[in-house]
Structure 1
Amino acid sequence: MDHTDAYVSALTAAVENFNRFYIRIPTRERLSFTTLSVLDTLAAADGPLRLTELTRTEQLSQPGLTQLVSRLERDGLVERRPDPTDRRATLVRLTAAGRRVGRSRHDDRVRHLAPLVARLSPADRTALARALPVLGRLVELDREAEDNQPSVKLSGTVEAVPAAEPETRRRDADRTRKCLLEAAFDEFSTRGFAGARVGEIAERAGVNKQLITYYFGGKAGLYRALQRQWLDREAEFADPDAPIAELVLRYLHHMLADPRGVRLAVWRALSDAAPIPPSTAESDLATTRARQDRGEVAADLDPAAFQLAVIGMVAAPVLLPDMVRDLFGIEPRTMEFEERYGEQLRRILAHLATAENPEGEDE
């Protein structure tokens, strides 16, 4: 890999890491990523778009996109009308309500990012400001390349791009799987495994429900894939060698940013129908014992009890949001609460590292 390749690879990794955090910033609008992508595309367009254009930009099947647009129209977020230049074609555009969704998400993200940017050093803020025009130029270059993509003229006025290359088909398949997993996360965390419907998952993802069987082997396979995806995400931030307080605060941040994982666990506890995830108890307890050996956790504490208590402390704001509002007087999914509660968790864990045996208790 030459210097340019290494630079582009580092840029790609940085954008991917930021995007994983950015797309999960808490917002008031709970919509699937596929739905938001369509709304964002329509918002960025100069005018209404044809269904065929959306099919290409969103990389969805025509039936899947039609189902999604129909649902958005029922919700009052888009409207359809015949194309005056071709009565066979349909134009889609945002309604005022659809535009409000986009503005609301933008405002929510600004409120979340502003205090984080404020914590950067002056030099970092200057570097960030200088990078913004360059990132915008990359977007422009991509659009120019897309506009210059060659097409093949067919009969009449219809044009089509050449047949997709294997790499393009692979990317389309990856996108479909990601859309299905994201839609499944929404559906399973809202209704549980037993109450979830594959048809609703497919509609959320904007694809044919037969693709769930094709890619995952059915509802149970999709649920297991979701469990594996969570373990993969967890591995990205759950460094067993990180200080216990730092690790717990990472879990708190991720659970507040995306509470669906906690809700999924609650549904699984309420129903025996869901596939059981692979157990990590043995490795988790071994990690806690190692922390006891290092003096991070008091030696007299039961590792299993400690593990359960910490999980409870981290999950409590998601499970008991009303109690958070009553006790703290603020919303649980805000930066103010995360910082205030996180600092208290840090102090609690510091006390647990120095606990002593109760008087008279044997070693």
Structure 2
Amino acid sequence: MGEIRNAERTRKAILQAAKEEFFEKGYTGARIESIAKRAEVNKQLIYHYFKGKDQLINETIHEFLTSLPTGHLTLPANPVHIAEFRLKVNLENLREFLKFTAWEAIDIIPENVNGEEMRKKILQSYNEDMKSKQEMGLVPEELDPALITLMLSSLTIYPLLYSNVTRMITGHTLEEPEFQQQWASFLRMISERIFNKENTH
């Protein structure tokens, strides 16, 4: 029983170290040696638990996403509040993961090793949620639900990831609580103009 507990503890330590390494350096920059050092284990032990880097990154992302409380992925009933809600979740829970997604833009990553299936499922659920809100008359018919999801993702991720550009444009970054508040209010105002106000009070 003790051996099983130790094995679970070791595996967890490796996944935690892998998360830090991948999220900081991206897929290409991450090294198994560095993960072993962070986890304070022998490099060979990592290969005992995981076939290699590809399996390790998949399981790291899966572990990270499944550890998020479900409330963070359940969108508000009123579409006016979705952008604000997603900004809050990104700021409080997804900062490091979103940095990893920025690495993906420049990394050469083998197919299906970045938790794509699970991530796609979550993002597609946002599309479905928007579609059902559209059927309820809360979202204008002429707007494509998938494009709304893409727009909301951009508005709630870009200022957080690209703080230098955000500062050059506005003089502020999302590190400042006042600017966080200002951006959240702006997102709400924009959302009120996009969605059917008469149906979303």
Question: Does 1:273 pair with 2:115?
Answer: no
Q: Which position in structure 2 is the counterpart of 1:26?
A: none
Q: Which runs of 5+ in 2 are unaligned?
A: none
SS at match of 1:267: helix
Q: 1:249 aligns with which of 74, 78, 84?
A: 84
- Normalized per residue, the structure richer in strand is 1
Contact 1:213 1:219 in 2 (8 A): no
Determine whether 1:296 maps to 2:132: no
The question of 1:323 aligning with 2:157 is answered no
- Tell me, yes or no, if the aligned pair for 1:202 and 1:208 is still in contact at 8 Å: yes
Give the letter aligned to residue 218 of structure 1.
Answer: G
Q: 2:12 aligns with which of 170, 178, 188?
A: 178
Q: How many residues align?
A: 189
In the other structure, the counterpart of 1:261 is 97
Contact 2:90–2:157 (Cα < 8 Å) also in 1 = yes
Task: Give the Å deviation of 1:321.
Answer: 0.1
Is contact 1:238-1:247 (8 Å) kept? no
Q: 1:174 to 1:246 in 2, by over 3 A?
A: farther
Q: After superposition, give the CA deviation of every residue in 1:249-290 in whole Å (9 maximum; x if it has no partner).
A: 343223223422112212223234242511325433222111
> Which structure 1 segments of 5+ residues have no match?
1-165, 356-363
Percent of aligned positions with the same letter in both sequences? 29
Alignment partner, residue 19 of structure 1: none
Counterparts of 2:109 and 2:88 in 1: how far apart (Å)? 29
State the alpha-carbon separation in 2 of the partners of residues 350 and 292 from structure 1.
Answer: 15
Task: Assess, with a 3 A threshold, how the Cα gap between structure 1 residues 246 and 354 changes in structure 2: closer, same or farther.
Answer: closer
Residue 74 of structure 2 is aligned to residue 239 of structure 1? yes
Q: Tell whether the 8 Å contact from 1:180 to 1:202 is kept in structure 2 after alignment.
A: yes
Residue range with higher mean Cα deviation, 234-243 or 316-325: 234-243
Letter in 2 for 1:263: K
Give the TM-score of the pair, scaled to structure 1: 0.47
Give the TM-score normalised by the residue count of structure 2: 0.79
Bigger fraction of residues in helix: 2
Secondary structure at the aligned position of 1:296 is classed as coil
Q: CA deviation at 1:234?
A: 6.4
Q: Give the aligned residue type for 2:106.
A: L
Q: Which amino acid aligns with 2:152?
A: V
Q: CA RMSD in A?
A: 2.5
Which residue of the partner structure matches residue 97 of structure 1? none
Contact 2:166 2:172 in 1 (8 A): yes
Is the 2:14–2:35 Cα contact (8 Å) retained in structure 1? yes
- Alignment of structure 1 residues 222-233 onto 2, 5 Å: 222-232=56-66, 233=68
